[in-house]
Amino acid sequence: MKPGIAAVVANAAANLRDDIAPQLNGFRAGNASMIAAMLDIVAEEWDRAAGRLVAENADLRSVLVRGAALVAGPAESPDFGNGDLRISALERENERLRTQLIELQTAVETRDDAEAQALDQAIWDLLRRSVESRRIASANF
Amino acid sequence: MKPITEDLLSTYLAGRMPDWRDIGIANLHRLPMGASRETFRFDLAYTDDAGRHEDQMILRRDPPASNVDSDRSHEYNAYRAIHGHGIPVPRMILLETDPEPFGGAISLAEDLRGFHNSEYQIQQPEWRERLPRIAQGLWTAMGRLAGVPVEELELGFMKPATPEGTAMQELDYWEASLDASDVGPEPITRAAIRWMRRNPPPPAQKLAMVHGDFRAGNFLYDDAGEVIAVLDWEMAHLGDPLEDLAWSMSRVLSFGKDDRRSGVAPREEALRIWQAASGLEIDSAALRWWELMMCIKGQAIWNAGAAAWVKTDDPMVIHAYAAWWLRNAQDRAILELMGKL
């Protein structure tokens, strides 16, 4: 779509925040400002969300495959998304993988052998990368 | 939700307050505050045997779905319990627990006008010089609350707690809230919960009345930065006095996007003020545990907002906004506290 979606949404947010919200009062003004802030988040996420999810899902699969060698249970299965790159499909796959990650970390985090500790560290590294890649400009932290 | 109108309020008060005559309601409007309750402001006039009265009022109404498990009765009783014990709060006027008249339970309180309560306003450059005074008022009020002997308060409406059990009681409560508002797997939050269960804090040094949401945005201050009143007591409960302090340290509620906690003062300065006002000790390991606990609570509340947005016919913008804005930042705060960032 032209003009680009991220730019258009960011511009709509600016209009709502700077031109429209100041004309409103009380509860409506607060709602308009929040909707403008949400449009800013949409603009920020629009271009990066699919790439971020593809990369994170690959990261998750890699750690889960490594974990399958250490922890009894079903080995990580192939991509359930079947190449579907819609964000909704990528998010479903991401949630499936993150659920498995919780089970894996629960199994290894209290073990004192070097392999388990290294895997636990790899999980924390993955989670840190995930959080940093999801940061939004307006966040307080 | 059922519209609240001036006629509806006037008719209700005429029935509820038989001694009031010539009741007038004016300037009723909803305020832009609160993710958990609706808040309205209005002017009230009436005549009784003492003469003509003109008061400014706040009405709060319970919504059909909220991000916080509380109700009008709880907050109303919390305000009344702490009133007169050295913590500035507005006076409660009336409680209506029957949802029929207004489509939800309501409470009325005195409206302290002419003051500010914006966590964003105090981030503006012109407020910078007044932040030390705000910090002094904020953490002094919080410390005084921590120091109030709970035996002197009427807190029978609250869930019982013990110094030994309050930590796990809070963790159990908020983990159950996360389970009830499942909006997707939370590997960071769940890992923190497991660590907290393996590493419990020492018993609380005393039981305190915990405000439950003591931060910038939930107190009134004047033009000079003097704290006038502490608001929003709907999550008040019995617990560890470090809990409110930990909540006020929250990274996600540090609205200056820097090291000033609550967007008001550096961490060490806030702790110094609180300690002087409360007369209590700050065990750094215990405080860290409670800061993590407040991250769990925060994530549970943001997730509950997201879940409420999905399940109601008339979703509130703030529930979706808070979830989008806060959930990842909350995860990041957990990583920092666990030394994993």
Helix (H, G, I), strand (E, B) or coil at B57: strand
Give the nearest chain B residue to A28 (CA atoms).
B32
Q: pLDDT at residue A81 above 90?
A: no
Give the nearest chain A residue to B252 (CA atoms).
A140
pLDDT tens for each residue of A48-75: 999 999 999 999 999 999 999 999 866 6
The torsion angles phi and psi of B56, rounded to 5 degrees, stand at: -110, 130
The domain of B250 spans 121-337
From B86, B110, B134, the end of a domain falls on B110
ipTM of this complex: 0.95
Do residue B84 and residue B150 come from a single domain? no
pLDDT at B65: 62
Q: Test B317 with A139 for CB contact under 8 angstroms.
A: no
CA separation, residue A112 to residues A43, A69, B38, B123, B183 (Å) = 45, 16, 51, 47, 33
Q: By the CB < 8 Å criterion, does A88 face chain B? A: no
- Which phi-psi region, left, alpha or beta, contains residue B217 (left: φ > 0; alpha: ψ -120 to 50)? left
Q: What are the b/e assignments for A62-96, b being 16+ CB within 10 Å?
A: ebbebbeebbeeeebeeeebeeeeeeebbeebbeb
Q: By the CB < 8 Å criterion, does A141 face chain B? A: yes
Angstrom distance (rounded) from CA B214 to CA B233: 9
If one compares B185 and B38, the residue with the highest pLDDT of the two is: B185
Q: pLDDT at residue B39 above 70?
A: yes
Inside any domain, residue B298: yes
Q: pLDDT at residue B55 above 90?
A: yes
Q: pLDDT at residue B36 above 70?
A: no
Angstrom distance (rounded) from CA B52 to CA B45: 7
pLDDT at B71: 84
Cβ atoms of B248 and B139 closer than 8 Å: yes
pLDDT tens for each residue of B166-222: 999 999 999 999 999 999 999 999 999 999 999 999 999 999 999 999 999 999 999
Give the nearest chain B residue to A138 (CA atoms).
B325
Q: Kindly state the tokens that stand for B107.
A: 């409470």
Angstrom distance (rounded) from CA B58 to CA B231: 12
pLDDT at A26: 85
From B75, B110, B145, the end of a domain falls on B110
For residue B208, which of B181, B246, B244, B233 has the smallest C-alpha distance? B244
Do residue B313 and residue B222 come from a single domain? yes
CATH number, domain with residue B88: 3.30.200.20
Facing residue for A128 by CB, picked from B31, B184, B341:
B341
pLDDT at A25: 87
Q: Test A105 with B198 for CB contact under 8 angstroms.
A: no
Q: By the CB < 8 Å criterion, does B191 face chain A? A: yes
Do residue B285 and residue B264 come from a single domain? yes
Shortest alpha-carbon distance between residue B246 and chain A (Å): 16
Indicate the number of domains in chain B: 2
pLDDT at B37: 80
pLDDT tens for each residue of B92-150: 999 999 999 999 999 999 999 999 999 999 999 999 999 999 999 999 999 999 999 99
The helix (run of H) or strand (run of E) holding residue B142 is helix B131-147
Do residue B190 and residue B213 come from a single domain? yes
Inside any domain, residue B116: no
For residue B14, which of B50, B49, B56, B45 has the smallest C-alpha distance? B45
Inside any domain, residue B224: yes
pLDDT at B32: 78
pLDDT at B64: 67
pLDDT at A83: 84
From B82, B110, B138, the end of a domain falls on B110
Residue reference for tokens 């997730």: B303
Give the nearest chain A residue to B254 (CA atoms).
A140
